[in-house]
Structure formats: C-alpha cells, structure tokens
Amino acid sequence: KDFRNNVRPNWCPGCGDFSVQAAIQRALAELGKEPEECAVISGIGCSGRISGYINSYGFHTIHGRSLPVAQGVKLANRDLTVIASGGDGDGFGIGLNHFMHAARRNMDITYITMDNQIYGLTKGQTSPTSAHGFKNPKSTPEGNIENSLIPTQVALAAGAGFVAQSFSSDIKQMTEIVKAAIAHKGFSLVNVYSPCVTYNKVNTYDWYKENLTNLDEVEGYDPTNRIQAITTITEKRGLVKGIIYRNEEIKAYEDLIPGYREQAIVHHDITLSAEDFLKSMKEFA
Ligand code: SF4
C-alpha cells in the first residue's frame, strides 16, 4: 500500500505541510487502507496542494469549500475513507461556516487543517488564527488588532466528537492522531500547527516547541472528559498537542439514516442502454 505518487511537492523547503502529507500517507498505510478506498479533498492555499500529492482519489476544490465537497463524496460512497484538508485562512476564514456545520452534522469524515497562523500563498497577511498583536512587516507592521480564533475551541463548541491538535515536527504523534481520527466514527478534526517558514517569522518550529503543551504528558488528562477539554483549551489559548476530546458514543450522521448504505449513489445502477440514452438526450434537447 503506497500512498506516495510521483508528483513533487512545490512547498518551500522546510514547510510544515510536508510532515502533514507524510503523516496522512503513513496513517492510511498503517490502517491497511488501499489508495482506491480513500479520497483526499482540499481547498485553496498552500495546504490545498496536498490532494495532488497523495496517491488516492482527490479533488482540489475552491476556497473554503473542501468540507461540503468531502461530505458530498461521503454521501455518494459511504465505503470511502474521506479526508478533507484546509489551511487556517481557507478553513477558518471563508470556510468557517462549513467547519461548524460539518462538526455538528457529524458525518464520518476527517478534517485535517494545516494551521500556520498566516496566509502563506498570498505572501503573509494575518489569518483568523494570527495572534492579537502579531506583526508582519508587509501586511500588519503595527500588529494585528483582531483577536485570534481557536479552531479546537470552535470544534468543541459545535459538538465535534473527536478534536485533536498536532505539530509538524512531531510526525510520530501526528501519525497516531491521524489514525485515531480516521478510525473515529463521525466528524474528526486534527488541527496541525504547520509552520510557514517563509512568511511567518514569529510562529516558528522553535516557538511551537516552547509554547505547546503535550497532553500525552499531562498527568490525569482524560480526553473523554468534555469539561476538562474545554477548560484546558481555554486556559492554554489552544496551545496544546494531542487528542483533546473524543466521544465514541455519538452516532455518525450516516448511522441515523435507515438504509443509508443501500441508498448511496455508488450502489445505484445508472447504466443506460444506447436506446434509452438517445431517448433521454432527445427529451433533454
Ligand atoms: Fe509553506 Fe509558507 Fe512556503 Fe506556503 S509560503 S509553501 S505555507 S512555507
């Protein structure tokens, strides 16, 4: 099972997105998936390129819209493992409404976001996750006057049953988190702090190493405890890595629809005879 293809990524050397790509490929392989059983759907931004770099079905969609497309793919074929991906601008700016509705709807898909706290592709503007006061000489030399959004907090508030966060320099933990997210039956979020080495000179690999708390090392941390998860995220301003919350009791959207599997489009016989095809075309004309 090889989820690598022969497309060479054109991310900048050192970009955190390389690790995300590798973690997804490893997780799918270690879960015993086949490329034709998986689909990776991406939005726009540097992160959006990832669907072209993984050997599976893929769709590079439009800005902020990877989640609606991913849900459509899952509706059409429940048997596919569906991964949606996005960036912090793509997913938490223009795509924020889709994020909240996907979390509450709870279809069995995994959303992996590459959060570098900046718009990388358009050369360094502040994004929804840029910290208050964040300075970038080109776009916000006086500092960001807005408050930042904490994606994991939004996911928890919207009712997601699996919320996790990771960091690009810890590919081992990220792979395990992605595996757990894919195995979760329902919507799962893995927000990855994925440094933009070219435009974000504040939130660097070293900065994250100094500021992230590893939940795996917090004594007594219990990801099934929702109150503890919300309190921890609030106190740490989102700066943690590990599985923040998981609830395996919530039923996925698909499991609430009787006969859903049989009704999925992929199981319909849509073959037409030549005669019926011509008849349909004439009616259409
Ligand atoms: Fe990565 Fe930033 Fe380069 Fe985009 S601009 S590829 S996010 S390092």
Give whole-number Cα distances, 114 to 45, 90, 155, in Å. Answer: 10, 10, 15
Measured in Å, residue 269 CA sits from the centre of ligand 1 at 44
Atom of ligand 1 nearest to the CA of 123: 5
Pairing of strands 57-60, 188-193: unpaired
CA gap 150, 213 in Å, rounded = 15
Pairing of strands 57-60, 38-42: parallel
Q: For residue 145, which of 128, 155, 133, 160 has the smallest C-alpha distance? A: 133
> What pLDDT is attached to residue 266?
76
Q: Calculate mean pLDDT across residues 11-27.
A: 98
Is 128 a member of any domain?
yes
Please state the pTM of the whole predicted model: 0.94
- Give pLDDT tens digits for 149-169: 999 999 999 999 999 999 999
Measured in Å, residue 175 CA sits from the centre of ligand 1 at 21
Output the six-digit token pair for 26: 């490893």
CA gap 74, 57 in Å, rounded = 12
- Give pLDDT tens digits for 184-217: 999 999 999 999 999 999 999 999 999 999 999 9
- Kindly tell me if the per-residue pLDDT of 24 is higher than 80: yes
Whether 41 and 85 have beta carbons less than 8 Å apart is answered as yes
Amino acid symbol at 60: H
Whether 161 and 248 have beta carbons less than 8 Å apart is answered as yes
Measuring from atom 6 of ligand 1, which residue has the nearest CA? 11
Domain membership of residue 77 as a residue range: 17-259
Is 37 a member of any domain?
yes
Measured in Å, residue 33 CA sits from the centre of ligand 1 at 29
- Give pLDDT tens digits for 255-271: 898 877 666 777 777 77
Query: Is the CB–ligand 1 distance for residue 192 below 6 Å?
Result: no
Pairing of strands 57-60, 110-115: unpaired
Average pLDDT of the residues of the chain: 95
Is 268 a member of any domain?
no
CATH, residue 160: 3.40.50.970
CA gap 251, 265 in Å, rounded = 22
pLDDT band for 39, please (50, 70, 90 cuts). Answer: very high
- Give pLDDT tens digits for 83-135: 999 999 999 999 999 999 999 999 999 999 999 999 999 999 999 999 999 99
The structural domain count of the chain equals 1
Measuring from atom 3 of ligand 1, which residue has the nearest CA? 12
Is 123 a member of any domain?
yes
Whether 93 and 66 have beta carbons less than 8 Å apart is answered as no
Measured in Å, residue 42 CA sits from the centre of ligand 1 at 16
Is 40 a member of any domain?
yes
Pairing of strands 81-87, 57-60: unpaired
Measured in Å, residue 218 CA sits from the centre of ligand 1 at 32
- 3-class secondary-structure state, position 222: coil
H or E element at residue 38: strand 38-42
Interface confidence (ipTM) of the complex = 0.99
Is 274 a member of any domain?
no
Is 279 a member of any domain?
no
> What pLDDT is attached to residue 261?
67
Measuring from atom 1 of ligand 1, which residue has the nearest CA? 15
Residue located via tokens 């011509």:
278
- Kindly tell me if the per-residue pLDDT of 177 is higher than 90: yes
pLDDT band for 285, please (50, 70, 90 cuts). Answer: confident
